[in-house]
Structure 1
Amino acid sequence: MRLPIILWGTTLSTGRRLAPDQLRIATIRAKVDVATLPAGGIGEGLALCETLFGERFVPRGDLVAIALSNVNPQNHMAIALCNLTRMERGEAWSQNENITDAVGRLIEALDAERLAIAAALGAAVRTVRQHFHLSFHIEEAPLGEMARAMVGRGDRTMAPATLETRYVLEDVPFGLVPTARLGRLAGRPAVLHEAGIALLSALYGRRPGRGQ
């Protein structure tokens, strides 16, 4: 059987490698968005995903919805910007404990830009609060409150302790830049996304992506 290319909106689980032969799984997501290329292969793609990982997949119509379903770039940018010196100094710090109310407000403001772009393009995507609810199994609330609820039950996931982190080096060029570009094309400029790209580029001593 010839299978289509299968695309997920996020990872199936979250975790952290503790040693070359040791991994800590933090959570397994209740819902994962999926689409295929070509779009007509969604039946075969969905069947394979469910065979391998269970009935947790939600089919989406196209790649735009998948591209705009990933909240990690916006979330990681807010966390990295607001805690950058911790990363640079190599501190050991808990991510959820430092998603304070202020950081939560920034994430939700970034999320509003993403949702506006998705609406302009006719793509159905979840809010960041819905994402946290389905990923970490906590009740929906302002994001700072949701982070405190995670800490309260013992989820103190450690955050990056280096500037050489995917939170910036992967999520900016492959997450934030495409979202900002889609925003321009859709007539919904993502002002905070573009500001974050510019700020992180300056902090890292790199030029923003062409066209930004």
Structure 2
Amino acid sequence: MLYTSLNNYGAILHPAPTLFNIGRIENGHSYTHYIEGITPSIANFLEKLDYERITLGKYFKIRLKPLNVWLSDTYGSKGDNLYDLLHNTHAYRKILGPDTLQHRYIIEDTLNGLVPFVHLARKCGIGLPITENLTNLIGHLLNIDVISLGRDLNDMGIASMDVNQILDYVTNGD
């Protein structure tokens, strides 16, 4: 369960670029999400966001693949950094960016991706400042309390457990 949840690359690749392209979206401009929507600066931000995801995985004794490695392994993408890898991922070339902020790239991947990362990090007693700031900013722009509305530890059935109990639970069951 934790491995699958923490390997949610959509939480890394979707909400932030969607947010950073809000002007295009609200002005009705069509764009390709991964090619035109992810600039070198945005890709650099995503690498930092991905590093926090990997750090969180270590607290649960999970070795997660960095997004760069996953793109290379999954799509055979080539490049020295995330920007180059994304721009060399043929499968992503024609995927359009959202045309509304009420899109799964921002709503679903924040509520069911980023928010659980925040809750899990808090359970571990660690900060994920980039993830938390991004999540809060998205909530403010959408005028919703994403932390309260998103998937939390109660939804996962692990709210009363400490990190070791969570590890035992996901490894051995009840």
Which bracket does the TM-score occupy, shorter chain normalised?
A: 0.7 to 0.9
Matches within 5 A, 1:121-132: 121-132=60-71
The match for 2:117 is 179
Question: Deviation of residue 128 (structure 1)?
Answer: 0.6
Task: Kindly indicate whether structure 1 or structure 2 has the higher relative contact order, using CA contacts under 8 Å at least 6 residues apart.
Answer: 2
Q: Is the 8 A contact 2:12 2:46 kept in 1?
A: yes
Distance 1:154 1:161 in 2: 17
Structure with the higher fraction of residues in helix conformation: 2
The amino acid of 2:127's aligned partner reads P
Alignment of 1:35-54 (within 5 A): none
Take 2:149 and 2:126, find their aligned partners in 1: how far apart are those partners? 16
Runs of 4+ in structure 1 off by over 4 angstroms are: none
Aligned residue in 1 for 2:30: 92
Residue aligning to 1:43: none
Q: 5+ residue gaps in structure 2? A: 151-174
Q: Structure 1, residues 36-89: CA drift from partner, whole Å, max 9, x if none? A: xxxxxxxxxxxxxxxxxxxxxxxxxxx111110111112212211210121222
Match of 1:68 in 2: 6
CA contact (8 A) 2:110 2:146 kept: no
- Using the TM superposition, give the Cα deviation of residue 140 of structure 1 relative to its aligned residue in structure 2, in angstroms: 4.6
Measure how far apart 1:201 and its partner are.
0.9
**Aligned equivalent of 1:79:** 17
- Which residue identity does 2:134 align to in structure 1? G
1:190 paired to 2:128: yes
Deviates more, 1:141-150 or 1:106-115: 141-150
2:44 corresponds to which residue? 105
Task: Note if contact 1:89-1:161 (Cα within 8 Å) is conserved in structure 2.
Answer: no
Matched-pair contact (CA < 8 Å) for 2:32–2:97:
yes
**8 Å CA contact 2:76, 2:89 repeated in 1:** no
TM-score, normalization by structure 1: 0.64
The answer (yes or no) to whether the contact 1:105–1:143 under 8 Å persists in 2 is: yes
User: Per-residue CA shift, 1:192-212, capped at 9, x if unaligned?
Assistant: 111111111111111232399
Aligned partner (choices 52, 55, 59) of residue 120 of structure 1: 59
Identity %, equivalent residues: 23
**Residue 165 of structure 2: aligned partner:** none
Could you list the per-position Cα deviations for residues 16-42 of structure 1 after superposition, in whole angstroms to 9, with x for gaps in the alignment?
Answer: xxxxxxxxxxxxxxxxxxxxxxxxxxx
Q: Which amino acid aligns with 2:80?
A: A
Question: What residue identity is the alignment partner of 1:178?
Answer: P
Q: Is the 8 A contact 1:116 1:188 kept in 2?
A: no
Question: Are the counterparts in 1 of residues 11 and 113 from structure 2 also a CA contact under 8 Å?
Answer: yes
Q: What is the DSSP-based 3-state SS (H/G/I as helix, E as strand, rest coil) of the residue aligned with 1:209?
A: helix
Give the Cα–Cα distance (whole angstroms) in 1 for the partners of residues 14 and 24 of structure 2.
14
In structure 1, what is the Cα distance between the partners aligned to 2:88 and 2:12? 21
Larger proportion of strand: 1
Q: CA deviation at 1:154?
A: 8.6
CA distance in structure 1 between the partners assigned to 2:60 and 2:114 by the alignment: 17
The equivalent of 1:36 in structure 2 is none
Letter in 2 for 1:176: L
132-141 or 66-75, larger mean C-alpha shift: 132-141
